[in-house]
Amino acid sequence: MRRLALVAAAALALAPAALASEQHPTLNELENEIMCPVCTVPLAQSDSPAAKRMEAIMRVQIASGWTKSRIENYWVAQFGESILASPPKRGFDLLAWVLPLAGAALAAAALGVAAVRWRGRRPAEPPLAPRSLNGGGRLEPELERRLDEELARFDA
């Protein structure tokens, strides 16, 4: 519930900016979203005469108060949907938006499952055997008794 409220708050915070962009587009925005029909790169990267004419027309459209979608629809009517730098978010073209996200989600899930499996495959460590001070294992009882006798002889 808390996460849903956070997402809703973020959407409400970003809505005015998105609406302002739609109502009052900038030439810079449009140049990056519309392709040059001659060189097939965004208008912002093109120096062709056709791109310069398109930018001049866009300046007039923006000054006339056209919305972003109206300007984009104008250019789509002139050249087709291939004039847009990104595919529309509907129909078959929606796959261009969904598949990369779905692929990334599947890859993350597969990596998570693999990590859990790899961690589970480690062999259990054997219990630690008691060790003597010199790093060896425990002495046999007879040898330990003889060692104690010899050490006691030196102490006296």
How far is 82 from 127, CA to CA, in rounded Å? Answer: 68
How far is 121 from 153, CA to CA, in rounded Å? Answer: 53
Torsion on CA atoms 150, 151, 155, 156, rounded to nearest 10: -20
pLDDT of residue 53: 92
Residue count of the chain = 156
> What are the respective helix, strand and coil percentages of the chain, to the nearest 5?
70, 5, 30
Digit-by-digit pLDDT tens for the chain (156 residues) are 666 566 555 555 554 544 445 677 888 888 888 999 888 889 888 889 999 999 999 999 999 999 998 999 998 999 888 888 877 766 776 777 778 888 999 999 999 998 888 877 666 676 666 665 666 667 788 888 888 898 888 876
